[in-house]
Amino acid sequence: MKRLVIVGGGGHGRELLELVEAVNGAQPRYRLLGVLDDAMPDADLLAAFGTRHLGPVHLLRELDAEYAIGVGSPDVRAAIDSAATGWGCDPATLVHPRAVVGGGVVLGPGAVVCALASITTNVRTGRHAHLNIAATIAHDCRLGDYTTLAPGARLSGAVTLGDRVTVGTGAVVIQGLRIGAGTTVGAGAVVVRDLPAEVVAVGVPARPRLPATGSAGTV
Ligand SMILES: CC(C)(COP(=O)(O)OP(=O)(O)OC[C@H]1O[C@@H](n2cnc3c(N)ncnc32)[C@H](O)[C@@H]1OP(=O)(O)O)[C@@H](O)C(=O)NCCC(=O)NCCS
């Protein structure tokens, strides 16, 4: 059994606790030591999983355990991963037994694939890519590091996501498109053209949201 800690004790962290339970239910694999979080998570909610808050994130360096990051924000995942890598820690890659992962799929270290997510074939993800419940990824997609597919997000074939891209819940990206690093696609959007880096795009068809203009804004 591998020793494991979950970094992050909020809602997504508890989703990872569920996922670890499911993985161990299919085949005992991890000994869960507990949860690390710089804030104080709800002890009762963690106790329901038979686990507890161990302390702040930097304790990871002393634990001799693999880590999975239960945090939705790509930027926060990147920062935690950077620290953990510096401490010489190894991430766990977690795949729910009820996810569908096809042939030629390469998941990066620390990737998380939740229940009912489906990945067809010849897909590659970067480090700590998170594919939430019922997200779908078709053939030949490339997902960068710290990418997030929210519940029910859908990538058609040969889509490329830069590092730290988030595709919101229920959003759709049609085939062959590229989305630049750090961009967020809003919930329910339909992306039909490439998107640049570091924008928030919403709507059908998805368009980068214009920055708010203050009172001195241009006409
Ligand atoms: C797009 C998003 C990132 C914008 O967040 P935000 O910057 O806090 O935006 P606000 O809530 O302040 O809304 C700003 C404007 O954008 C609109 N807007 C927000 N999200 C939108 C969406 N998904 N589609 C269309 N319009 C949206 C709001 O109605 C508002 O319009 P208004 O100024 O005319 O009133 C966010 O709403 C979103 O969709 N996030 C994805 C959430 C998700 O998938 N969560 C899954 C968690 S597991």
Catalytic residue at 12? no
CATH number of the domain bearing residue 133: 2.160.10.10
Task: State the distance from the centre of ligand 1 to the C-alpha of 183, rounded, in angstroms.
Answer: 13
Nearest CA to ligand 1 atom 17: 202
What total number of domains does the chain contain? 2
In a domain, 23, yes or no: yes
134 and 72 in a common domain: no
162 and 102 in a common domain: yes
CA of 201, closest atom in ligand 1: 1
Tens of pLDDT, residue by residue over 67-95, are: 999 999 999 999 999 999 999 999 999 99
pTM recorded for the entire structure? 0.95
- Residue 24 burial (10 A CB sphere; 0-12, 13-18, 19+): middle
198 and 98 in a common domain: yes
In a domain, 153, yes or no: yes
- Please report how many Cα atoms fall inside a 13 Å half-sphere around the Cα of residue 157, on the Cβ side: 5
Say how far apart CA 4 and CA 91 lie, in whole Å: 9
175 and 189 in a common domain: yes
Nearest CA to ligand 1 atom 14: 209
CB-defined site of ligand 1, < 6 Å: 72, 132, 150-151, 168-169, 184, 186-188, 200, 202-203
- Look up the domain containing 74 and give its range: 2-92
Tens of pLDDT, residue by residue over 150-195, are: 999 999 999 999 999 999 999 999 999 999 999 999 999 999 999 9
Q: Which of 165, 130, 177 is nearest to 151 (CA)?
A: 130
28 and 113 in a common domain: no
What is the β-pairing status of strands 130-131 and 154-155?
A: unpaired
Token pair belonging to 104? 């030629």
